[in-house]
């Protein structure tokens, strides 16, 4: 049997290489087609303005950097109706809301009971939904800076003790 020869895809493709760890999530701005945010295991979010012609050579320097999480990042999402607003979630059991124009953390929900594996803004951006590894779905209201609801979504293969 003949062995198949694999070609490395990254050998010819230019890459974004500006983080100190692997990129774990990315999102394009709903308001600016060329604005890309990347979240990394190095605990930072970096912002990149992608040229109209695309990335033609390796990019080593970001246009902006957001620091505030003390551990690896997991997820990030741009706000659906407020330009320059981004939410992030990390292994430090916090969710942060950022003003990326000012490069500032404007709101932090700390002390979450578990790490998250899902993060979404509501359609109009009034709430942040967070799915935890403990199988609970939580909603946070950025205006009141509180958790407004928390429900068990399913018990899974092993029932949980409440």
Give the C-alpha separation, 47 to 27, whole Å. 10
Strand partners, 46: 38, 65
Q: How many CB atoms lie within 10 A of CB 116?
A: 21
CA contacts within 13 A on the Cβ side of 69:
28
Cα 44 to its chain centre, rounded Å, is 10
Reported as a single tens digit per residue, the pLDDT across 7-63 is 555 567 888 888 999 999 999 999 999 999 999 999 999 999 999 998 899 899 999
Judged by DSSP in three states, 84 sits in coil
Give the C-alpha separation, 131 to 120, whole Å. 9
Judged by DSSP in three states, 151 sits in strand
Most confident of the following: 34-43, 104-113, 139-148? 34-43
Reported as a single tens digit per residue, the pLDDT across 71-105 is 999 999 999 999 999 999 999 988 999 999 999 99
Segment among 4-8, 88-92, 107-111 with least mean pLDDT: 4-8
Which CATH number is associated with domain 9-114? 2.130.10.10
Tell me the pTM: 0.83
Give the C-alpha separation, 162 to 157, whole Å. 15
Predicted confidence (pLDDT) at residue 142 exceeds the cutoff of 70 = yes
Map out the domains of the chain as residue ranges. 9-114
| Residue entry with tokens 């930072």 | 44
């Amino acid at each position: 049997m003949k062995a198949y020869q694999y070609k490395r895809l990254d050998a010819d493709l230019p890459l974004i290489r500006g983080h100190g760890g692997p990129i774990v999530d990315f999102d394009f701005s709903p308001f600016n087609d060329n604005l890309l945010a990347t979240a990394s295991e190095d605990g930072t979010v970096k912002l990149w303005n992608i040229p109209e012609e695309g990335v033609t050579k390796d990019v080593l320097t970001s246009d902006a950097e957001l620091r505030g999480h003390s551990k690896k990042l997991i997820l990030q999402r741009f706000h659906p109706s407020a330009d320059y607003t981004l939410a992030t979630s990390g292994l430090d059991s916090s969710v942060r809301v950022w003003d990326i124009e000012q490069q500032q953390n404007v709101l932090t929900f700390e002390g979450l009971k578990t790490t998250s594996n899902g993060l979404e803004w509501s359609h109009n951006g009034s709430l942040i939904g967070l799915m935890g590894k403990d199988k609970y779905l939580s909603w946070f209201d950025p205006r009141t800076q509180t958790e407004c609801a928390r429900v068990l979504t399913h018990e899974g293969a092993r029932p949980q003790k409440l």
